[in-house]
Copies of this chain bind each other. A is one copy, B any other.
């Protein structure tokens, strides 16, 4: 772990600049293309091939960094809530996640609505490396540690699901899950599905825009989920917390 040489530092800075330029393009609504990124950096397109092997690899790189940045945004907002209130932090994080998706729909689309199935292993690994995934799972685990909620046992689930949960392909440090409580992952996964579903629907706009803007879809999704996470008696407090963060 020696100090990075000058060349290495320069290279890292170039990567950072690539990501910066790419995100600027996305934010401005322009097309993300190698030529546009290169142009914004003051060099020509072929030069970028010294850093990424293809356009798809650029997309993957940018997607990973965007996910990291979005997670940091959630973490910063969550710090306004005491660390001993992981449920509050989760609610705030979910609200920030939604706001981010609405403010930066192209960034959100790049990360979460790019097919992960058909492409190569790189994107596959992204599935288990997702920073946001680890972040959400950590909060959920903290919640469970503080106030365990019920979850199905592996043998109550469909065999294929039980099998998948034994060596799961999701962004979580599996040793953090207490032994005999793998069924908890099923709750986590379904919660993620609910969050992902609502936000994706809203971003793609397959719904009356006034309803999207109101946030009612999101609120009602959360209202359904709080009891399942053992938060029935805190529902009122958490819904108020959500309301105060929906605009942001």
List the interface of chain A (C-beta within 8 A of B).
Answer: 29, 105, 109, 112-118, 127, 157-158, 160-161, 163-164, 168-170, 189-190, 192-194, 196-198, 200-201, 203-211, 213-214, 216-217, 219-221, 224
Q: Are A208 and B170 in contact (CB under 8 A)?
A: yes
Q: Are B220 and A116 in contact (CB under 8 A)?
A: no
Closest approach, in angstroms, between the C-beta of A208 and any C-beta of chain B?
A: 4
Known contacts A196-B197, A196-B201; A210 and B163 CB within 8 A of each other: yes
Q: Are B205 and A217 in contact (CB under 8 A)?
A: no
The contact of A198 among B29, B197, B216, by CB within 8 Å, is B197
Closest B residue to A115 by CB, please name it: B204
Closest approach, in angstroms, between the C-beta of A227 and any C-beta of chain B?
A: 12
A-B contact pairs, 5 of them (CB 8 A): A112-B204, A113-B204, A116-B206, A193-B198, A196-B197
- Bound Cα distance from A7 to B221, whole angstroms: 52
Report chain B residues within 8 Å CB of A112.
204, 206
The interface centre, meaning the residue of A118, A196, A224 with most chain B CB atoms within 10 A of its CB, is A196
The interface centre, meaning the residue of A192, A211, A219 with most chain B CB atoms within 10 A of its CB, is A211
Report chain B residues within 8 Å CB of A220.
190
Q: Are B197 and A158 in contact (CB under 8 A)?
A: no
Q: Are A201 and B197 in contact (CB under 8 A)?
A: yes
Closest approach, in angstroms, between the C-beta of A71 and any C-beta of chain B?
A: 15
Q: Are B109 and A213 in contact (CB under 8 A)?
A: no
Q: Are A117 and B197 in contact (CB under 8 A)?
A: no
Supplied contacts A127-B207, A193-B201, 6 more A-B pairs, CB within 8 Å? A112-B206, A160-B214, A164-B211, A189-B208, A189-B211, A190-B217
Closest approach, in angstroms, between the C-beta of A230 and any C-beta of chain B?
A: 17
The contact of A161 among B194, B203, B211, by CB within 8 Å, is B211
Closest B residue to A152 by CB, please name it: B220
Closest approach, in angstroms, between the C-beta of A31 and any C-beta of chain B?
A: 13
Closest approach, in angstroms, between the C-beta of A59 and any C-beta of chain B?
A: 14
Q: Are B196 and A161 in contact (CB under 8 A)?
A: no
Q: Are B209 and A114 in contact (CB under 8 A)?
A: no
- Bound Cα distance from A53 to B157, whole angstroms: 52
- Bound Cα distance from A243 to B200, whole angstroms: 27
